[in-house]
Structure 1
């Protein structure tokens, strides 16, 4: 019985692993660019598979930027809580912008203006040259 099931299980592995590796691609974000958004939190969604932050950016024209973070589990391990960021908070958010120029990006860090607290979103940062650098 095991001899029949093993080849079938091995044959199925590429189909199971393919979508997972594609889902975690960072290709839509420009790792060579880092920009800082200054504004007010419009919405903070503590959901799986990725936490989402929407920031109303100050200036003309005013725009809401969508920022993708990692999962709630990963953020919890980095010291975050569901209540770390709330609508109305003044923030400075560092992101790698979307390559297509839309108002969005991949999260790097967030500074709460009122307290000066800085929250990171991953154990390493993608440097301006695309290499990984450790977060202190």
Structure 2
């Protein structure tokens, strides 16, 4: 075997791997949510998905017309939520929640949760996207 060729092939493979753009790139807040469309919703939790890379909370919201609509909002990753002291038990089905965040660009009943306030008054910053507006920015709007 030609060792010079083998060494060059190995070096080329390493360089190609090191410079490849990952296909699993993380989405940005701005790609899916609209920072110009804040949401402020209250309802009752129906389901929680405590999964990576983002957890999701689903809750029923009664509209002004009395019709109930199920909303889904994105939370941060489970380890981020654990670091701030929020557990799955805190948002178990049947729990009343107050969500502040931003509407999804898809036009449906989906959004990005910046904060969740529980019925006992505790508030948690649930968002984890690096380019999302902060709680301070949202409060100023």
> Which band: TM-score by shorter chain?
0.7 to 0.9
Distance verdict in 2 for CA 1:13–1:68, change over 3 Å: farther
For structure 2, which runs of at least 5 residues remain unmatched after alignment? Answer: 1-5
Deviation at 1:17, TM superposition (A): 2.3
| Larger-Rg structure | 2
Separation (CA, whole Å) in 1 of partners of 2:61 and 2:53 = 25
Q: Is 1:94 aligned with 2:97?
A: no
Separation (CA, whole Å) in 1 of partners of 2:11 and 2:87 = 42
Query: Which residues of 2 match residues 6-17 of structure 1 at below 5 A?
Result: 6-17=11-22
Query: Which residues of 2 match residues 1-136 of structure 1 at below 5 A?
Result: 4-20=9-25, 23-26=26-29, 27-59=31-63, 60-113=66-119, 115-122=120-127, 126=133
The RMSD of aligned alpha carbons is 2.5
Distance verdict in 2 for CA 1:52–1:122, change over 3 Å: closer
Q: How many residues are paired up?
A: 127
Deviation at 1:33, TM superposition (A): 2.0
